[in-house]
Structure 1
Amino acid sequence: MDFDRYAPRFLLWVADRSEGVPASPVDCAEFRTWQQMDPAALRALVDHLSELGFLSTYEGLGGGEGGPGDPHVRLEPPGVEQARRLRRRREDETERARYAQDAVLEWLRVHRGQPPYPLSGFYDSPQVFFLGTALTLDEVEEAVGYLAGVGLVERSDEGAGITLTDDGRDFVWSGSRLDEYVREWREREHAPAQTVVQVTYSVQMGPAELGLLVQRLAPDLELDGDSLAELLRLSGELAHQGDPGVTGPGGPVPVDPNGTPLPVRQRGVLGRVRELVSSASGGAVKTLLEDVVAQAVTRGLGM
C-alpha cells in the first residue's frame, strides 16, 4: 500500500466531506470507488491513519456504494490539524517546487534500464504525487530545468530524455540534501577566479644593474640573517663593478693601484647568488629573481 500517495489524499478527502463538522461520520465507499481500490487496501489505509490518531471508525456502519464492508470514519482533533497543515503545504509554491526537484532525482535514482529515460514516464510514477495530488507539467518542467542548471541532470533526444550527470549520480547516492548541494555549487561557481599570471622576463642587464636589482629585492626574500648578509655582499660586488671608490654593503669595492675596479668573480658570484635566492621562501619576488639570475647565468654576463 502506497501510504505516501494515498494517505494525504484520503485525509484531505475526509476533511472536505466533513463539511466543517469533524465529528460527523464519512462513508468511505465513494473514495474507494473514485480511487478504484479494493476493500482490503481501503481498510489498510483507514487502519494506518487511525494508528496515527487522525481518524476513528464506526464499526459496522456501511451499506453505501461499496457495500456493507466499507467503513465510516470521522476526523479526530489531530486529524483536523494535520489536514490544515497538508492544505497549507499543498498550496505552497515553494514547497511544491522543492518536492518536484527531489521527486525527479528520486525517480532517476530508482529507474531501471539504460538512460536517457523518457520524461513522460515520470508522470506514471509514484514520485509524481505531492501530498496526494499530481504535479503539473509546468512544475515538472521547471524542476528539470532547475536541476539541469545546477549540473545534476541533462536532457537529450531534443528534450524528451533525461539522465543524471556524473555529479547527479554522486549526489543521489550520497544522501545529501539538495539545498546543501546547491549552496556549495553556487559558492564554487561564484568564487573569485584565481588569476595566475605567468610573466616571462627577458632582460639584458649588466652586472651593475643585476646587482642593484638583487639588492633592492633581497629584503623581501625572507632569508635568515647570515644568508641575507651574504646575498647583499655579493650583489654589492655586482652593483659596484665599474664604479671605483664606492663602498657597498660588504665594504669598499676592490681597486687596483690606478683606481680601476678589480674584475668581479662573476661566475662564482652569480652561482652563489642563484643558490641563495633559491633557498628563500616562495613568492613572487623569489620567482622574479630566479628568472632574472637564471638568464644572467645562461648569458654568462660577458664570461
Structure 2
Amino acid sequence: MDFDRYAPRFLLWVADRSDGVPAAPSAPVDCAEFRAWQQMEPAALQALVDHLAGLGFLSRYEGYGSGGGPLVQLEPPGAEQARRMRRRREDETERARYAQDALLEWLRVHPGQPPYLLSAFFDSPQVFFLGTALTEAEVEEAAGYLAGVGLVERGVYDRARIALTDDGRDFVWSSSRLDEYVREWREREHAPAQTVVQVTYSVQMGPAELGLLVQRLAPDLELDRDSLAELLRLSGELADQSRGDDPGTPDTQGRPPHSGGVLGRVRELVGSASGGAVKSLLEDVVTQAVTRGLGM
C-alpha cells in the first residue's frame, strides 16, 4: 500500500466531507465514494483506514455506509493535519522544494542505465506531493534548477533525458540537505578569483623595455577609453626605441630625449586607473624608473 500517495489524499477527502472539528466529534463519513474514485480494493481501503487511525487522525465508526464502505470519523488531530497539508500544498516554495527532492530521489532509485526519460517520473510514487501530482511545469523547473547547480545533466540534443552528474550521485547517497549543498556550491562558484601577476621583467629596464611592459598590461588597468588610448600611444613611443627607431640624440647623461615628460605622464595615467594587481605592478616599475633618473 502506497501510504505516501493515498494517506494525504484520503485524509483531505475525509476532512472536506466532515462538519468541521469542534470539541465534539465530527459526523461520520462513508468511504465508499473514495474507494470508487481511486478504484481501490476493499482490503487496501481497510489498510488505509487502519494506518490513519493508528496515527490518531481518524477513528472507525460502527457499521457501514449506504454505499457499503466503512464509516470513519475525523478526529481533532486529523483536522489540524489536514489544515497544515492544505497550506503546504498551496505554498509554491514548498512545492518547488519537494519537486527538487523528489526528482533526486527518483533518479537515485531508478533501475537501469541512465540517462532516463523524464516523462517516466510522472508514473512514479515520487510525483505525488501530499496526495496530488506535481505539474509538468513544476517538474521541468526542478530539473532546470538541479542542472544549474550541477546535480543533474540533460541531454544536449534530447532534453527529454536526464541523469545524475558525478556530484549528483555523491549527493543522493550522502546525508546532506539540498539547501546546504546549494549554499556550498554558490560559495565555490562565486569565490573571488585569485589574480597572480608574474613579473618576468627586470625593473632595471630602459624606457623602451618599460614601454613594452606598459603596452602589454595597459588593457588590464580598467581606464576610460581616452586615457587608455593616450597610455597606449605614450607606451608605444617608448617601445619604438626597441625596434630601432631613431629616438634622437641622448642628453649629456645618456637619457633619450623627451623621456622625462612621457614617463611622467605614463605615471599619472597608471595612477588614475582602478586598483588592482596590475596597477600596483606598473606603479612600482614606473616609479622606480623615474626615481633612477630616466624621467627626471
Superposition TM-score, scaled by structure 2 size = 0.66
Query: Who is 2:291 aligned against?
Result: none
Q: Which has the larger radius of gyration?
A: 1
Letter paired with 1:47: D
Task: Write out per-residue CA displacement over residues 160-196 of structure 1, whole angstroms, 9 at most, x where no aligned residue.
Answer: 1000011101100012100000000011111111112
Q: Does 1:39 align with 2:38?
A: no
Letter paired with 1:46: V
SS across alignment from 2:63? coil
Mapping of residues 23-38 of structure 1, within 5 Å: 23-38=26-41
Letter paired with 1:126: P
Letter paired with 2:41: D
Query: Who is 2:140 aligned against?
Result: 141
Task: Write out per-residue CA displacement over residues 85-126 of structure 1, whole angstroms, 9 at most, x where no aligned residue.
Answer: 000001000000000000000000000111110000000000
Superposition TM-score, scaled by structure 1 size = 0.64
Q: Percent identity?
A: 85
Task: Write out per-residue CA displacement over residues 251-294 of structure 1, whole angstroms, 9 at most, x where no aligned residue.
Answer: xxxxxxxxxxxxxxxxxxxxxxxxxxxxxxxxxxxxxxxxxxxx
Query: Who is 1:174 aligned against?
Result: 174
Distance of 1:149 and 1:204 partners within structure 2? 50
Gaps of 5+ in 2: 206-296
SS across alignment from 2:150? coil
Query: Who is 2:62 aligned against?
Result: 59
Query: Who is 2:72 aligned against?
Result: 73
Letter paired with 2:131: G
By how many angstroms is 1:202 displaced?
A: 3.6
Distance of 1:23 and 1:63 partners within structure 2? 18
2:19, 2:26 within 8 Å by CA — same for their partners in 1? Answer: no
Distance of 1:81 and 1:117 partners within structure 2? 39
Query: Who is 2:248 aligned against?
Result: none
Mapping of residues 119-138 of structure 1, within 5 Å: 119-138=118-137
Query: Who is 2:186 aligned against?
Result: 186
Query: Who is 1:165 aligned against?
Result: 165
Aligned residues: 203
Stretches (4+) displaced over 4 A: none
Distance of 2:104 and 2:172 partners within structure 1? 7
Distance of 2:90 and 2:204 partners within structure 1? 75
Distance of 1:50 and 1:176 partners within structure 2? 33
The two structures, once aligned, show a CA RMSD in angstroms of 1.8
Query: Who is 1:220 aligned against?
Result: none
SS across alignment from 1:174? coil
Distance of 1:203 and 1:79 partners within structure 2? 80
Gaps of 5+ in 1: 206-303
Letter paired with 1:171: F
Distance of 1:143 and 1:195 partners within structure 2? 35
Task: Write out per-residue CA displacement over residues 120-148 of structure 1, whole angstroms, 9 at most, x where no aligned residue.
Answer: 00000000000000000110010001000
Query: Who is 1:118 aligned against?
Result: 117
By how many angstroms is 1:45 displaced?
A: 0.5
Letter paired with 1:182: V
Query: Who is 1:84 aligned against?
Result: 83
Letter paired with 1:108: L
By how many angstroms is 1:204 displaced?
A: 5.4
The structure-2 alpha-carbon separation of the partners of 1:155 and 1:8, relative to structure 1 and needing over 3 Å to count, comes to: same
